[in-house]
Amino acid sequence: MGEERSPLEQDRLNFQPPLPQILSDISNIYLTEGGPTSAAGDVEMLQGHFPNTFGRPAVNFEQGASAASHHPLRIGVVLSGGQAAGGHNVITGLYDAMQKLHPDSQLFGFVGGPSGIVEKKYVQLTQELLANYRNMGGFDLIGSGRAKIETDQQLTACMEIVQFLNLDGLVNIGGDDSNTNTAVLAEHFLSNGCQTKVIGVPKTIDGDLKNHKIEISFGFDTAAKTYSEMIGNIARDAFSAKKYYHFIRLMGRSASHIALECALQTHPNITLIGEEVAAKKMTFEQISNEIADVIATRSAAGKDYGIVLIPEGLIGFVPEMKQLMKELNFLLAKEATESVANQLSRAAKTTFYFLPEAIQKQLLLDRDPHGNVQVSHIETERLLIHAVKEKLQQRVDYKGKFRALKHFFGYEGRSGFPSNFDATYAYALGNVAVVLVNSGMTGYMTSVTNLAQPVQEWEAGGIPITMLMKMEERKGRLTPVIQISLVDLEGEPFARFASQREKWAIEDHYRYPGPIQFSPESIADQLTLTLQLEGQAKVTKSV
Ligand code: FBP
């Protein structure tokens, strides 16, 4: 942390996130169990992979005398994957809850992500150290990483360190791939007689780690609000200068939740939603034509400017690209060299050689440890600008001026000061993880629900991670993974967007959300429209 703190840093260090009523007396919580759970798919195979942890019930917290003992707790925590605002709040939530349960409790942070567990690199997290990180963005307290824990040696090393530190619990703060590590470690520890409980916390700005018990991952709120501010600013600039089209790609490796939320917040002229592109089986050619149609219509009305939002994951939803990526994944698993391009099917080869050389290289060589293509490095916005320009040049009736600028909003949304929502939500998740560890649960993900209601009314519990899993081909072999949640084309947020987009395309209805506010509460505590609309839909369904 730098020597000089900004006034806002100072102010946020003093912010105390409110706790939901259910977590207000952490030593008086007991758990109620639902029925046995299943999985998102491939039940039998998953039962084989997770014989001890599969099928366990979801649990809810209730206030009342707890059967759990209140001895000093020892917990290790690790941050996994991409940064998301609120990571430090989960850690301070863990620390504060552990102290409330017993003042001699100790918290250890594994350094640099999951590899820190394997390499046995850790620091003790004390009150003094944490005092500098309360409500701060980023993951710089202990760092993060994307290492996949899978080999016997890695699993053995993990068990050695948690036993050496005599940990009651290991809390893994991560997204879908990172929490596969949580499930694998929980199963491994349990089947080898290790007492350490392993708990996952849902983190990712992508907002795709969700189901009925995880309404959103922390980090989405701050990222969507940060990007929306920037899009609003650019929209105002475009509306003032009236000479540029801005093609803005937004982070989110697969699902288009971020793009959809930003569209609802800012009302751009065009927003591509990857899931809709896949449902309609739209090719790049069709997408470019649709964009060119809007640009030509606007131009005829004297408007040669506008805003186009592109989700980062779009490329994986376009059928010809999806096929290409599938074939490459298969071939690269056998032989990771550039020559695999010669072994592609005819159709995939055509797609591959249509792409600029830099993108070809990224598709071939640029993978994360889980085998994912690094879509954040692929300039889809450049591809689209190029394709749209060609389409417009072919139109004899188009007389406009197409001047396009490209932007990528990604990393700038991940590490800002957590919004009030993320600060509060992540802090509550840290508290929930402590209750789960103390209640002897393992292989569970923390769950805080009822988020569209005031914080006081939020509910808490845990769900077995295997419930979210299915099998998927990764690096050429079937592997257990957490099923991510894509934009629901039948859901309320998409319906709201679809009902407005034609108007937004031709008329100008830009909305300017401005920066994340920390006061006054009436502005600072507004939820994302995604949560509001999904929350309202839930209430309507239940009456
Ligand atoms: P997580 O799933 O780990 O939260 O990360 C998501 C993400 O921010 C994506 O939106 C993006 O594509 C990717 O990380 C970028 O990864 P990296 O930080 O390794 O460049």
pLDDT digits (tens, 9 = 90+) for 468-487: 999 998 877 899 999 999 99
Say if residues 270 and 310 touch (Cβ distance below 8 Å).
Answer: no
Separation of alpha carbons 22 and 2, rounded Å: 37
206 classed as catalytic: yes
Is any atom of ligand 1 closer than 6 Å to the C-beta of 253? yes
E strand residue ranges, 429-542:
444-449, 459-464, 469-474, 477-482
Mean pLDDT value across residues 83-100: 98
Dump pLDDT digits (tens) for 245-281. Answer: 999 999 999 999 999 999 999 999 999 999 999 999 9
Nearest CA to ligand 1 atom 10: 252
Supply angle C-alpha 237, 241, 244, rounded to 5.
85
Find out whether the beta carbon of 109 lies less than 6 Å from any atom of ligand 1.
no
Query: Is the model's pLDDT at 125 over the cut of 70?
Result: yes
Domain boundaries, the chain: 2-219+418-474, 223-414+489-542
- Given 96, 176, 177, 206, the catalytic residue: 206
Q: Identify the residue whose C-alpha is closest to ligand 1 atom 20.
A: 376
Residues in the chain: 543
Q: Is the pLDDT of residue 138 over 80?
A: yes
As separate numbers, helices (DSSP H) first and strands (DSSP E) second, the chain gives 19, 15
Measuring from atom 15 of ligand 1, which residue has the nearest CA? 376
Q: From the CB of 376, is ligand 1 less than 6 Å away?
A: yes
pTM (two decimals): 0.95
Say if 2-219+418-474 and 223-414+489-542 have the same CATH topology: yes
Average pLDDT, whole number, for the chain? 94
Tell me, which fold does domain 2-219+418-474 have in CATH? Rossmann fold (3.40.50)
Cα of 204 vs centre of ligand 1, distance in Å, is: 8
Q: Is the CB of 207 under 6 A from ligand 1?
A: no
State whether the beta carbon of 378 lies less than 6 angstroms from ligand 1.
Answer: no
Tell me the pLDDT tens digit for each residue of 25-49.
999 999 999 999 999 999 999 999 9
Mutate to test the pocket of ligand 1, among 206, 209, 227, 374 (most ligand atoms within 8 A of CB): 206
Is the beta carbon of 283 within 6 A of some atom in ligand 1? no
Least-confidence region, from 11-20, 294-303, 329-338: 329-338
CATH class of 223-414+489-542: alpha beta
What spacing in Å lies between the alpha carbon of 128 and ligand 1's midpoint? 30
What residues pair up with 306 in beta bridges, in sequence order? Answer: 245
Ligand 1 centroid distance, CA of 401 (Å): 36
Exposure b/e, 58-90, CB count within 10 A at least 16 = b = bbbbeeeebeeeeeebbbbbbbbbbbbbbbbbb
Evaluate if residue 371 carries a pLDDT over 60.
yes
Residue showing tokens 């991952």: 217
Q: What pLDDT does 338 receive?
A: 73
Does the beta carbon of 204 lie inside 6 Å of ligand 1?
yes
